[in-house]
Amino acid sequence: MPGTQTSTGATVPPMRGPAQGDTDAVLNNQPNQKYWSDSATGDLEQRAGHSRRVAALICVIGVLLTALSSWAAARVDDKAEQRLLQVQTKQAAAVLSTAILLIEGPLRTALSVQRVAGLKDTTAFERFMAASVGPDKSFVSASIWHRRENHLTRLGSVGVAPALAPGRPATEAYLRRAFHTTTFTVRAVSAGAQRRIAYAMAAQGSDLVVYAERAIPADRRSPVASDSAFADLHYAIYLGPRTDNTSLSTTDMDPSTLPLTGTTARATVPFGDTVLTVATSSGRHLGASLSQRLALMLLVGGIFLTLIAARTGQQLVRRRQDAERNASTITGLFERVEILYGQQRELSVRLQRALLPHAIPNIPHLEIAAEYMAGAQGVDIGGDWYSIIGLNDDHFAFVVGDVSGRGIDAVAVMAHARFTLRAYLLQGDSPAVALEKCSHQFDISVDGHITTTVVGVGNWRTGEITIANAGHPAPLLIAEDTTEFVEVTPGPPLGTGPTTYLSTTFTMSPGATLFCFTDGLIERRSESIDVGMLRLAATVQTSAEEPVDALVSRALASLRSNDAADDIAVLAFRWIPIR
């Protein structure tokens, strides 16, 4: 029972709070502080609001982090895609360069064949080109021309009629261009609905020029074989550096959907006196599929985790709030209980002290000391008491008693015993008679307590003492050189039932001290009562020469343990006759 102890000292503890009449005010006014939180609606709403704010904050942070990581993953994936596409586009351009050789090669060979044959005979040229000209072959039309003084003459031709018809100035102008380049010239031409590419190549150091036309598929579409290395690519090949539809040469797409969108890459390949521009886009994801899905996975997973975190956060906040609330409730109750215990104990101690003699009477030739000490534990006080009473001109009476048990009831029984004995003693009854009369007035079945007590009557002129004992530890008689317990036959405690008591009479030697006490001074749970009695005798023997109050204080100080539960009353007097 923590903190309930008010005082274990022999002096009255300072009273806390107002006087007794104001006790109710103390009880009612004290708790201004809150002992438990009100479960008012506002409070609940506030708590719920707080936990929702935490959840919302977690959500915002979680979504931000998720979006950031998803975006980063997507960026990484994009860059990887771009790089892969560029690599593939370069590879495609390299393949295209090789394909151009298939065009350039036959033309160059045809020129050589014609140079060897001379200007008249074109049979060899026609026979050679027949292999490359026709449906499903490289060219649809081919012809060989000779330049003489800026005038061009067609020597022979193979295949269909060319789009650039012989004899027209545009045709000759185009053919003449071929003499200004070391490779071949390229241009787009139209033969009716058919789009063609026209090639012209001049032989170095001669006046021969070969001309050929290659058909472009009507829709200009040429799908990529699905098993090709470039099956994942969409492409559009443009003649020249521009990528508008008029320059479009070949594509695997519907031309109306061009230009290519999405992740695109571009490469140019030298093509005669112009270039081919290869534009590509990825038909599907080129890199590892995990890389593509990572962003989405991060997004979905992140949002999922965010929701869980938000929910958990909300619960944790609520739990913490609940715990704080419970803790403050428990602390408040403890404080309340402690205050109540303190008040109750204080009242009990005040009652007890009110029942003890307020002042020790002056009795001639007696040096008197008395102490009462409350038990250290709990709120309940004991029922120990002492009395010393002047009776008449030469007699005095003294009582030390102990009511079993603790609490207000025990104190009430103590008061009953104390004042009943006092009354009998004042009317002149001997100790044994006073006890016998009392034994009729106490009943444990009614009171719930038994009372042990030593009652004595003394003559301060002669030092003669008569005592009787109702179940109480016998007093110690401390003389100059001996300390011994007074031999008095104990009768049963008060409350046991009606009975009679024996008494003992002895005479104190001058300066001797009679030391009466209650069992709190000698009782130890672990040992027989004799051990405690011998210890007390030994202790007081060493202080026999000291003043009585010092003797009492020393006995209490050395014998009372700090955690003693029982209360203690001690009454001692020394007889100092006039010599």
Partner 1 sequence: MAEFAARPPQHGVGSLAVSGEVDIAVVETLLAEARACLNADVSGLVIDLGGVTFIDSSGLGALVRLRNEAAQTEKNIALAHVPPAVARLFEVTGLTGIFPTRAGD
- Interface ranges with partner 1 (CB under 8 A): 402, 404-406, 443-445, 448-450, 452, 469-474, 489-493, 495-497, 519, 523, 525-530, 566
Between 448 and 511, name the residue whose CB sits nearer to partner 1: 448
At its nearest, how many Å lie between partner 1 and the CB of residue 557?
A: 23
Helix (H, G, I), strand (E, B) or coil at 8: coil
Between 378 and 577, name the residue whose CB sits nearer to partner 1: 378
Between 439 and 543, name the residue whose CB sits nearer to partner 1: 439
At its nearest, how many Å lie between partner 1 and the CB of residue 569?
A: 13
Between 316 and 529, name the residue whose CB sits nearer to partner 1: 529
Q: Which two tokens stand for residue 475?
A: 């007093």
**C-alpha–C-alpha distance, residues 159 and 133, integer Å:** 6
**C-alpha–C-alpha distance, residues 467 and 172, integer Å:** 162
**C-alpha–C-alpha distance, residues 333 and 327, integer Å:** 10
Between 200 and 533, name the residue whose CB sits nearer to partner 1: 533
Do β-strands 151-159 and 208-215 pair in parallel, antiparallel, or remain unpaired? unpaired
CB atoms under 10 Å from CB of 103, counted, come to 21
End-to-end, the C-alpha distance of the chain in Å comes to 55
At its nearest, how many Å lie between partner 1 and the CB of residue 386?
A: 17
At its nearest, how many Å lie between partner 1 and the CB of residue 470?
A: 7
**C-alpha–C-alpha distance, residues 174 and 185, integer Å:** 8
At its nearest, how many Å lie between partner 1 and the CB of residue 414?
A: 13
At its nearest, how many Å lie between partner 1 and the CB of residue 520?
A: 10
Between 216 and 454, name the residue whose CB sits nearer to partner 1: 454
At its nearest, how many Å lie between partner 1 and the CB of residue 331?
A: 27
- Type and span of the H or E element at 432: helix 431-439
Helix (H, G, I), strand (E, B) or coil at 23: helix
- Type and span of the H or E element at 318: helix 289-355
Between 523 and 546, name the residue whose CB sits nearer to partner 1: 523
Between 519 and 549, name the residue whose CB sits nearer to partner 1: 519
**C-alpha–C-alpha distance, residues 187 and 196, integer Å:** 9
Between 180 and 525, name the residue whose CB sits nearer to partner 1: 525
Which residue spans within 184-273 are E strands per DSSP?
A: 184-191, 194-202, 208-215, 233-239, 248-251, 264-271
**C-alpha–C-alpha distance, residues 258 and 254, integer Å:** 7
CB atoms under 10 Å from CB of 98, counted, come to 9
CA-nearest of 262, 263, 278 to 83 is 263
Q: Please report, to the nearest 10 degrees, the dihedral formed by the alpha carbons of residues 559, 563, 565, 571 taken in order.
A: 30
The backbone region for 473, taken as left when phi is positive above 0, alpha when psi lies in -120 to 50, beta otherwise, is: beta
At its nearest, how many Å lie between partner 1 and the CB of residue 500?
A: 11
At its nearest, how many Å lie between partner 1 and the CB of residue 449?
A: 6
Q: Which two tokens stand for residue 480?
A: 């100059």
Between 160 and 412, name the residue whose CB sits nearer to partner 1: 412
At its nearest, how many Å lie between partner 1 and the CB of residue 563?
A: 14
User: What CA–CA distances, in Å, run from 176 to 147, 172, 206, 211?
Assistant: 8, 6, 13, 11
